[in-house]
Structure 1
Amino acid sequence: MKDLMGIIYLNKPEQDGKLPILTRNRCIASLPIWSKFRLIDFILTNMVQSGIENIALLSTIKYRALINHLQGGAAWGLDKKRDGLFIFIPTMSQSSYNLGHFDFQLLSENIDHIKKSHQDYLVFAPGNLVGNIDFQWLLNFHKKQEKDITYVRPGTDYASYSKDLSEDGYYQMHPIFLISKSLMVKLIREYYYTNFNGSITDLMTSSIRNNGLTINEVNYPNLNCITNMENYFNFSMNILETPEMLTGNMEVPVTKKRDLPPTRYYEGCEISQSLIAEGCHIKGEVNSSIIFHSVSIERGTQISNSIIFPETIINENSLLNEVIADKQVYISENKQLINSSTKPLVLSKQARV
């Protein structure tokens, strides 16, 4: 798509705080999901499959894992001489990060890159969005409606309609928006010189209220924003009950390739309704669980309704139920980790149990 540039923004620090253990060392967009993917893979794949060739990532804090995963966008065909994937790196102090306003500052600092782009329209989307969206359809719809901004929010009804200005916070429910490049550059310049202290979504809310911009709203099916522990866990586990999500109404996201050997299943192991990545050693029992790469599960161990991140070791005769184990966790033999609340039990990275 020659006329649309994609801009992926990350969550505010306080939003990362809704998954406190899993986002201690990473942003939400880099959260592992479905045994081999990360959340950022979904929105990147959607943009590339919609024909978007110029994509910018507004990286804030805790972006090391994300940049390591993206590797310049090679897996998505974005490592090219013209356009491709651009990562805007923070240059401000740590104190500014905690304000949650860093994406607007990054846009201001990189406004020349946006101005020099060959595209006339910009689409902003968060890195924690999962599902399918056709940005080509969205751009065509936006042009026909002749409004200033088109908002998208998750929903089950494909119908679209116009909506007037609503209360503060209304636009927080609409994580994707499309706007012309000329109007966005104008707004950035205008608010920069007023010492605007807010995020991108705050900027749009203020612009609609104070500048009289007109908007469209689109309800789009099969979209879900991962914002807290409950919907991360539930969305992850739904793939086990509805595997057609990866072959039917949801495109398989592109992701970073790993050069690992196949998983080895030892004699006596039992596997049922689970996703298991490559490079694992499975000697125990795995039921209704998601296992990432390079995990070792020893004999006599039973894992049910759990998510095990990479390089975790679970020793003999242990029992896990509704557990999320972050990367490189070590669980010694004869341990029983059984969730007794409405939320899954979460083990932090490199925890020893």
Structure 2
Amino acid sequence: MSKPNSEVMAIILAGGKSERLSVFTEKSALPSLPFAGKFRIIDFTLSNCVNSGLDDIMLLTQYRPLSLNEHIGNGKPWDLDRQHGGVRIVSPYLGRKEGGWDKGTADAVYQNIEELLEENSDNVLILAGDHIYKMDYSKMLNFHLENKADATIAVIEVPAESASRYGIISVNKKGEVEDFEEKPRRPRSNLASMGIYIFNKEVLISVLNRDAGDPNSQHDFGRNIIPLMLDNGNRVMAYAFKDYWRDVGTVQSYWEAHMELLESPPRLDLYERDWVIYTRSQERPPAIVSSKAHLERSLISHGCQVRGTVIHSVLSPGVIVEEGAVVRDSVIMGDAVIGKNSVLDHVIVDSEAVIGANSLIGYGEDNTQNKLEPRNLHTGITVIGSRAHLPEGVKIGRNCKVGHDLRPENFGQLELPSGGTIEAR
């Protein structure tokens, strides 16, 4: 960890509801979802902070914050359990300027403007809690200070064909931001905002106050705050980031980010000793692989018991793969059980789910999109909710959704065609 930096405080936005992750964010905040077996998504942003020497962190929660609060606790795994600074978890409460839930990313910060005014730091670092990457924020801060910027936005080049999914930035030869468009139909560049901003604190407070009084504003940093600063003539710089970064806000991107860990070499190195990703770990026994097991290019976490075949997949702690079972191109979360002789292909299984013996999950070539969630489930991935207990011999196609807490008796028949959904009534 680097030396503490008192010139900037960090605010992590971890309260948004992400409906595009289907069943996985129905009961949990996105930043608390498992990633790469033993980690949570929030671990990457928090670890980036401490590795960058930042120890004054405010984490803003909102949607289903319980699991996130339990995971972070007093911040000890990140060395953030301190009397001064450290990590403070803040949720919406009555008695703030308007009370109620935050209306947008900028409003989440505005609702805590009193805390911001009390801070001694001259600059504020705004971060998203749902991205996977390693970044030294101190380098971005130095760039911000050297350019005497009112705001600095971290940007990354994205493929031109996918640029319309992001906030797109146009810059001049000096690296100054000239235009910011949120998810434009016809992007003018391929520089995408990473949702990482450094603001001069006084300028930020002034702009937040102006935006709060605009009834037509969505109170969003990308849509409203940055364009307002550009209209005001503020100096806004773009800071180019060249390394791995992944927004995991959809089922497909969450799955892809896991598969990228299995490349050789992986796009994100989890084994780098000078940039450790810290987390709160449970005490588990070592993983065990039986003599009948077969493993190919997979991540196996502590506490796993593998007696079947695991190919190009990621297993979280405590997963059991029984004899004859095959797990292929899949992500299995903590304490899930894959029954004997079952086959899973392109499946994401939530924690404590049980797949009955002799089942086929994600079978066939029919790629019919999910009828209830076509926007979320259309790439062939089938999702299984937490604590769902699937009966023996069930057949489930692609782009299917199986809800939380189902029991075998909830399945009226043993086959769910591609694009189907079954949930508890």
TM-score by length of 1: 0.89
Q: What stretches of structure 2 of length at least 5 have no aligned partner?
A: 159-172, 185-190, 368-378, 391-425
Q: 1:24 aligns with which of 23, 26, 41?
A: 26
- How far, CA to CA, are the matches of 1:256 and 1:241 in structure 2? 26
Q: 1:229 aligns with which of 232, 247, 251?
A: 251
- How far, CA to CA, are the matches of 1:32 and 1:65 in structure 2? 11
User: Residue 143 of structure 2 aligns with which residue?
Assistant: 141
Q: 1:6 aligns with which of 3, 7, 10?
A: 10
Q: Classify 1:321/1:167 alpha carbon distance in 2 versus 1 (closer, same or farther; 3 Å).
A: closer
> Offset at 1:328?
1.3
Q: SS of 1:20's equivalent?
A: helix
Assess if the C-alpha contact under 8 Å between 2:12 and 2:129 holds in 1: yes
User: Residue 187 of structure 1 aligns with which residue?
Assistant: 207
Q: SS of 1:190's equivalent?
A: helix
- How far, CA to CA, are the matches of 2:285 and 2:182 in structure 1? 51
Which protein shows a greater Rg?
2
> Offset at 1:247?
3.5
Assess if the C-alpha contact under 8 Å between 1:165 and 1:208 holds in 2: no
Answer 1 or 2: higher relative contact order, Cα 8 Å, separation at least 6: 1
Question: Which one is further off, 65-74 or 78-87?
Answer: 65-74
Q: Classify 1:250/1:61 alpha carbon distance in 2 versus 1 (closer, same or farther; 3 Å).
A: farther
User: Residue 290 of structure 1 aligns with which residue?
Assistant: 314
Cα deviation code 1:164-221 (max 9, x no counterpart): 1344547973411111111122222333345555234344234225433221112202
Q: SS of 1:113's equivalent?
A: helix
- How far, CA to CA, are the matches of 1:116 and 1:166 in structure 2? 30
Question: Which one is further off, 327-336 or 204-213?
Answer: 204-213
**Percentage of matched positions with identical amino acids:** 24
Task: Give 2:262's aligned amino acid.
Answer: L
Cα deviation code 1:49-84 (max 9, x no counterpart): 110010111112121111111112111000100000
- How far, CA to CA, are the matches of 1:329 and 1:168 in structure 2? 38
Q: Classify 1:289/1:121 alpha carbon distance in 2 versus 1 (closer, same or farther; 3 Å).
A: same
Assess if the C-alpha contact under 8 Å between 1:88 and 1:106 holds in 2: no
Assess if the C-alpha contact under 8 Å between 2:329 and 2:345 holds in 1: yes
Q: 2:176 aligns with which of 137, 162, 167?
A: 162
Assess if the C-alpha contact under 8 Å between 1:160 and 1:219 holds in 2: no
Runs of 4+ in structure 1 displaced over 6 angstroms?
none
User: Residue 385 of structure 2 aligns with which residue?
Assistant: 348
User: Residue 205 of structure 1 aligns with which residue?
Assistant: 226
* CA RMSD, Structure 1 to Structure 2 (Å): 2.7
Q: What stretches of structure 1 of length at least 5 have no aligned partner?
A: none
Q: SS of 1:316's equivalent?
A: coil
Task: Give 1:162's aligned amino acid.
Answer: E
Q: Classify 1:256/1:234 alpha carbon distance in 2 versus 1 (closer, same or farther; 3 Å).
A: same
> Offset at 1:144?
1.4
Q: Which has the higher helix share?
A: 1
Matched, 1:308 2:332: yes
Q: SS of 2:281's equivalent?
A: coil
Matches for 1:314-329 after TM superposition, within 5 Å: 314-329=338-353
TM-score by length of 2: 0.75
Assess if the C-alpha contact under 8 Å between 1:10 and 1:29 holds in 2: yes
Assess if the C-alpha contact under 8 Å between 2:180 and 2:222 holds in 1: no
Assess if the C-alpha contact under 8 Å between 1:29 and 1:39 holds in 2: yes
> Offset at 1:46?
0.8
Paired residues in the alignment total 347
- How far, CA to CA, are the matches of 1:338 and 1:5 in structure 2? 45
Cα deviation code 1:228-251 (max 9, x no counterpart): 122211111111123552245994
- How far, CA to CA, are the matches of 2:144 and 2:257 in structure 1? 30
User: Residue 118 of structure 1 aligns with which residue?
Assistant: 120
User: Residue 132 of structure 1 aligns with which residue?
Assistant: 134
- How far, CA to CA, are the matches of 1:165 and 1:123 in structure 2? 21
Q: SS of 2:262's equivalent?
A: helix
Q: Classify 1:288/1:250 alpha carbon distance in 2 versus 1 (closer, same or farther; 3 Å).
A: farther
Cα deviation code 1:13-47 (max 9, x no counterpart): 3xx12111211112221221111111111111111
Q: SS of 1:213's equivalent?
A: coil
